A and B are shown apart, each in its own frame.
Chain A
Amino acid sequence: MYARRAAQLLQELSSCEEGQLPPYNGDKFDQVIRECEEHSRQFQSLIRDKDIETKNEDHYGSFIHHLSIIRNKRCLMAYMYKRAEVIQSYRWNVGRVLPREIQDKLNFSEQEYFKDYCGVIDSYMKDLDLDLTVDMVPPKDPYIRVRVLSEIGEVSLGDHAVSLTKDSFHFLRRTDAEPFISQGLMEEFVE
């Protein structure tokens, strides 16, 4: 009670590294909501039939319950907001497809949020006719050597098809190779 559990939820979130998320703690989240309902019940019982202006003990008690609800709300909002920020950054750092470990940490509505966010970004990029997610760091060279780490198969890049078998080396355009590198399927080959 009194927002202690909500603070634990935020501790969990802040103890993770920058850009990482802990699994969505639905249980604690629901517990905090139930605490808010409890505070609300206590609040209702303290203010019924009372004159709002008299500052007696009931007034202060109800005020404390009210503050607890506001505090819980703030904690939960900050929790969702921070997670939403990290999910947005996934689109830019990881790509359109999230690996299994990350997907497991999100709850259903967060996965939906990610899909909608990708859709918004994609339609914006289509209007601009420009892919904004490549070349986040300005490249020195438009082409890069890559080594394929896991079997990808036949991929058509531009006007020709390339067969990306495991442990093969290729000389690709950076914009084509970047989605695979961010998913961990390829790595840059540095001599």
Chain B
Amino acid sequence: KKKKKRREQKSFPSQIASLPSPNPRHHPTVGLGASTCAMPGYYDISDILMEDEAVSVAFHVGANGVGLLDPGTETNSVEKGAKIDLPFWLAHELCRRRAVSITIPSCFGQKMKKDVQADAACVDLGTRYPYFYEFGCKLFPLVGDKSIGPFLRHTFANRYKEMLSKSHTASLNAIPKFVLRLSKEEHQLFEAARSSMVEFKKWRVRDLGLMKTTIVGHKRKTDLH
């Protein structure tokens, strides 16, 4: 059986805080607070699903034998200069080898920035972009846009304030509507807050098993002889 690779991951907010400047020669996975081994979270299912997000790329080179990737092509190949949607795992490797360039997806575009400026907490990340933050962290070194890092931090900070108060007061049975708007990472934080509130309430009413002494109820005499 394969040995489990040790992976230490920095907490999610510090991952955003430590985003490096985009350097094309810089290995994308190192320096993002990921572990020191070459394939952080190899078995991590949410990481795998996150990499399945589609990005639009423009090919700098042609590629033969992979015509299925481009629905518009008649030959079994992708032409140089073609613009198609690829899953992120493929786009990321090709971009590292300068075969394609990735265009910034709409979730980090101007419209999104305006929505966040207006009201960050109302932006629906849960249905549209559930892997918003992780995807941004991985995309950041590959596109030349320096503003993605601060944008992620700003979005998270604004949403966090409201999320913090709501998650501590949320009831256990009903799922409040705002939970559906949370991205996967925010959802984990929400669950952590809710379960810690439940544990706290249980602790408050726990049976201490204390014995009542008979002295309670008698008046204490405080003379000092």
Chain A interface (Cβ within 8 Å of chain B)?
1-4, 7, 10-11, 13-14, 42, 45-46, 55, 57-58, 60-65, 67-68, 71, 74-75, 77-78, 81-82, 84
Q: List 15 A-B contacts (CB under 8 A).
A: A2-B87, A2-B90, A4-B87, A7-B87, A14-B49, A42-B65, A42-B66, A46-B64, A55-B61, A60-B61, A61-B64, A61-B77, A75-B48, A77-B43, A81-B2
In angstroms, how far is the closest chain B Cβ from the Cβ of A132?
A: 20
Chain B interface (Cβ within 8 Å of chain A)?
1-2, 42-46, 48-49, 52, 61-66, 68-69, 77, 87, 89-90, 93-94, 97, 99
Chain B residues with CB under 8 A of A71 = 89-90
Per CB-CB distance, the 4 closest pairs between chain A and chain B, nearest first, are A61-B65, A60-B63, A61-B64, A57-B62
Q: Are A64 and B66 in contact (CB under 8 A)?
A: yes
Known: A42-B66, A60-B99. 15 other contacts (CB 8 A): A1-B68, A2-B87, A7-B49, A10-B45, A10-B48, A13-B45, A14-B46, A64-B90, A67-B90, A75-B48, A77-B43, A78-B43, A78-B45, A78-B48, A84-B1
Q: Quick one: which of A3, A65, A77, A81 contacts B66, CB cutoff 8 A?
A: A65
Chain B residues with CB under 8 A of A42 = 65-66
* Residue on A nearest B44 in the bound complex, by CB: A78
Chain B residues with CB under 8 A of A1 = 68
Give bound CA distance, A15 to B45, whole Å: 11
In angstroms, how far is the closest chain A Cβ from the Cβ of B177?
A: 21
Q: Quick one: which of A4, A14, A62 contacts B45, CB cutoff 8 A?
A: A14
In angstroms, how far is the closest chain B Cβ from the Cβ of A143?
A: 16
Chain B residues with CB under 8 A of A11 = 49
Q: Are A64 and B45 in contact (CB under 8 A)?
A: no
